[in-house]
A and B are shown apart, each in its own frame.
Chain A
Amino acid sequence: MLDVRDVHKWYGSVHAVRGVSFAARRGEVVGLLGPNGAGKSTTIRMITGVFPPTRGAIAVDGYSTVDAPEAARRAIGYLPESAPLYPEMSVDGYLAFRAALFEIPSGDRQRLIERAIDRVAIGPMRTRRIATLSKGYRQRVGLAAAMLHEPGLLILDEPANGLDPAQIRQMRETIRSLAQNACVLLSSHILAEVELTCDRVVIIANGVILADGTPAALREQHASGRARIVVEVAKADASQAEAALRSLHETTVQVAAGDAEWVTLLVEGTDAVATRTAIGQTLVRVGIPCRTLHAEAPSLEQVFTKLLEQSRTEAAA
């Protein structure tokens, strides 16, 4: 559905995007993740045809954004950052205007407007002027407008910006349901949101892609050298368990947290599977039951931070 190949963008002497390549298919939610000024919005704007790439090629549904811009734009639904809308228009009026811009046949127009209104749950607001809507509702109107013509590629620039937690959850559910029939590309700097919403993450910084993969694969791929195993034992057994685990080869043990009944121990070892097996065998041998025994994966935030630091170090070198 989307094919971005070796795309570059120069703003005068500033090389904002440097050889970005990735692809996305229908049914996939891809998150474009990066710090401010990383090149996310520039990449999105090149895909949506706000401006062309200085070098490289972008194809949407097989149409080049440079050679067949109108066909490519027809395949895209775009929600820009902050959902710019005409405040003086009513929700219904705005959606009808967008339907006319995409030349949706008049026979289908009302049905598609109703469908979009239903999907983002803005029915009670449809006759209201956009100026009187809350930020969350405006974002939803923008999303309804983007999905109105049933595009194959939905591009959402910071869709969760300025929304409260309940609205973010609703937005996440809507995005997931839209991905059933389309490819969704969203940019965000809210890592937890990307982790929850996206099937795949493309991490970008200084105009370069640092990583591309599923959140789980990225966590595994970029885990630090030592495995961290979480062990939860009864408080009464904690000191005995700690002593037993300290005797294991090449491991360190620390007490991470605890309450009135249970204590969490963090054991670091060289290999996740071997360390976990050794912990299990040791606890069985000393007769201490444990409630939890699992390897702690690094969060996407840790992966993101690590990749950014690496990128900065390489840039400085």
Chain B
Amino acid sequence: MNVTLAIARREWASLFRLPVGWVTVALFLMLCGSVFALAVLNPGMAASQRAFFGAAGWLLLPVVPAISMRLFSEELRSGTIEPLITSPVREGSIVLGKYLGAAAMLACMLAPTLLYSLVLWRVSARPPELGPLMAGYLSLLLPGLFYLSLGTKCSAFTANQTLAFLATLFILLLLLLGSALLPNLAPLTWRPTLAYLSFDARIQDFAKGVIDPRHAVYFVGASIPPLLLAGVALRARRLA
């Protein structure tokens, strides 16, 4: 576990030492801040950040692949993967370490947006409720972790960061559109299953302020197969 944490710490610190990390965070916060100022801070409206969470959720689609694209691709391109995989570290520790490092980066990126909630608290006549606020953040964090796992997997398969970014984005868009449209288009007998699997519906639940532990289990569970695939890709390199 110490090795996993060392890899996570290095990954997290590296993202903050590189322009790509700061630019990604700055763009995300700037766009989120604009949405907050224009759509949330409206005099006379109820103190709700729903519009902000909705917009931030969509922003995660390009932002998360931008964080995850370099996790393995950069190591494969620069050759640093060689000293890493020739050290006595299991593939699982490497994948999990990198994933946790990127997850910490995602958390650091979301953390400053808590200031918006504080501002809303201060300026609202009737303070916003805590439940929807927590549900809103879970609607960003949990899908964000799932997106990151997909990004980690895509990054483990290619030395090209652009390809890793585009592949992650494409898969995410496909999954989002699929999970929003398929339950309505599929044959009737399939619809309940597809509706259950749909992660769009779960994000909508969070947006409504519903905190359902099953949704958390769903997103954490959905993150495991892509990480296992990343481990398989890494192992395949060792066995090539």
Contacts and interface: CB of A to CB of B under 8 A. Distances in A.
B2 A80 contact: no
B106 to A, nearest CB: 19
Contacts of B238: 49-52
A31 to B, nearest CB: 20
B239 A73 contact: no
A84 B86 contact: no
Interface of B: 2-3, 6-7, 10, 13-14, 17-18, 78-80, 82-90, 237-240
A89 B78 contact: no
Counting chain A CB atoms within 10 Å of each CB, the highest count among B10, B18, B89 belongs to B10
A146 B129 CA distance: 55
Contact of A103 (B2, B17, B18, B237): B2
Nearest to B14: A88
A45 B83 CA distance: 11
Contacts, number: 72
Interface in A54-81: 69-71, 73-74, 76, 78, 80
Given A50-B86, A73-B86, A103 B3 contact: yes
A100 B8 CA distance: 12
A51 B240 contact: yes
A73 B89 CA distance: 9
Given A84-B78, A84-B83, A51 B237 contact: yes
B10 A89 contact: yes
B87 A73 contact: yes
Interface string A78-106: 10101011101100010001101111000
A89 B240 CA distance: 30
Contacts of A101: 3, 6-7, 84, 87-89
Nearest to A87: B78
6 contacts: A50-B86, A51-B240, A82-B79, A86-B80, A89-B13, A101-B84
